[in-house]
Amino acid sequence: MQFVLVDLPDRIHFYPFCLTRSLTEIRVGIYTIQERWDAFLETTCEVYTESYLQGLYEASFLNHSVPVVFINATCIPDGAVKTAILNLKEGESLLDEDGKWIATITKERSIGKILLGEPHLKTSIPAKLIKNALHLLQLNAFFIQSDFDQIKAKEITSVVDHTNRLICPENIFIAPGATLTGVSLNATEGPIYIGKNAVLMEGVAIRGPFVIGEKGVVKMNASIYGATSVGPFCTIGGEIKNSILLGYSNKAHEGYLGDSIIGHWCNLGAGTSNSNVKNTAGPIQIWNQHLKSWNTVGNKMGMLVGDYTRFAIQSSINTGSYIGVSANIYGNGLLPKMIPNFSWGTTKGYVLDKAIEDIQNWKKMKGFQITEAEKGVLSALFHME
């Protein structure tokens, strides 16, 4: 049976991260949403997303009319959900107890018909879903623990040398090829996962829950607090707390990052810091790009930063900031709380060809190239503005 992860229509709640890729690529805990579903279903799922993004993903299901299983990408997979999905018959749909769509097996390819289904062929099950981008931060500790438990059950941790101090070592997993020298890892309050070929330099101090992905680098004397997930090929330093870096991004120097999500291929210049609590300790508002309004989100929130965005050195980022895709940011004092896509400084003005050229330069630094499909996505998004 073929499985397809659908991020429509819920992707609108995950801006700015879903402006340049499917939400199946969003990382929380150790894995991306797609990696987690692939592991649960023991196969490689395809992706059904917005038309301007579809070229980034394998979509053989669009070229035939045999039944396939369409799955809501925001659903958190577990044993009960997997069993219920595998027991579906053609034409049947699975909902959660509140009527939220979970899965359908059908020959249909129209997203509207897939989501609506036949009213008399629906069953329900208790299920948990990721609600929006801010929910990722709230769930990160849970996902780190559950992902860690799965890895520990089937893999053996690497042994580290005597220069390192491991507190609660049974809650620490070191993947093959990782290099640690003179670091302190404290997993008393949550697990610590060090990915393949990651490098932790001298003086690093980490309190779990914490994840660093493949070929990630933690620079000397960094101070990291949980729950923090750092994706593959990221370089981090300074002080970080309760944040997610989705992948291929840098926060390599001194400065504070807290209660924030950073997209792919971003760079925070030396000395850049964000505020995550107002001086009044009062409620924080953050921009909702879909609703084009300000939403109150509690009294602790840092920033959401879209893919390919870069900050100049010593940038000061306001509490509850929403920052769009492919922005080249600089400015005096506290930066505006909302900075749109393709900004130069703090207002729109980044020319598309220049933005693509600069992204290519940054990708080269990590040994990658921008693809024609990625250029097409950026062009489509630029002309939607």
Tally Cβ neighbours within 10 Å of residue 156: 9
207 pLDDT more than 70: yes
As a whole number of angstroms, the distance between CA 306 and CA 324 comes to 5
Same domain membership, residue 148 and residue 123: no
pLDDT (0 to 100) of residue 116: 80
192 pLDDT more than 70: yes
Residue 51 φ then ψ, to 5°: -60, -35
Average pLDDT, the chain: 95
Q: Could you say which of 76, 103, 131 is where a domain stops? A: 131
Q: Are 164 and 249 in contact (CB under 8 A)?
A: no
Token pair, residue 242, equals 């309760």
Per residue in 224-263, pLDDT tens?
A: 999 999 999 999 999 999 999 999 999 999 999 999 999 9
Same domain membership, residue 14 and residue 83: yes
Same domain membership, residue 157 and residue 267: yes
Same domain membership, residue 318 and residue 287: yes
As a whole number of angstroms, the distance between CA 248 and CA 250 comes to 7
More confident residue, 123 or 363: 363
Same domain membership, residue 290 and residue 215: yes
Give the strand pairing for 303-305 and 261-264: parallel
Q: Could you say which of 108, 131, 154 is where a domain stops? A: 131
Same domain membership, residue 300 and residue 192: yes
Residue 158: CATH number of its domain: 2.160.10.10
Tell me the one-letter amino acid at 381. L
Per residue in 257-290, pLDDT tens?
A: 999 999 999 999 999 999 999 999 999 999 999 9
Same domain membership, residue 178 and residue 85: no
Q: What residues make up the domain containing 257?
A: 136-384
104 pLDDT more than 80: yes
Same domain membership, residue 101 and residue 43: yes
pLDDT (0 to 100) of residue 160: 92
Give the strand pairing for 343-344 and 321-323: unpaired
Q: Could you say which of 99, 131, 163 is where a domain stops? A: 131
- Which pTM does this prediction carry? 0.95
385: pLDDT confidence band, cut at 50, 70 and 90?
Answer: confident
Tally Cβ neighbours within 10 Å of residue 28: 26
Q: Total structural domains in the chain?
A: 2
Same domain membership, residue 141 and residue 122: no
Same domain membership, residue 250 and residue 170: yes
Same domain membership, residue 285 and residue 167: yes
Q: What own/partner pairs with CB < 8 Å and gap ≥ 24 does 255-260 have?
A: 257/302, 258/302, 259/137, 259/300, 259/301, 259/302, 260/302, 260/303, 260/304, 260/305
Same domain membership, residue 263 and residue 153: yes
pLDDT (0 to 100) of residue 119: 67
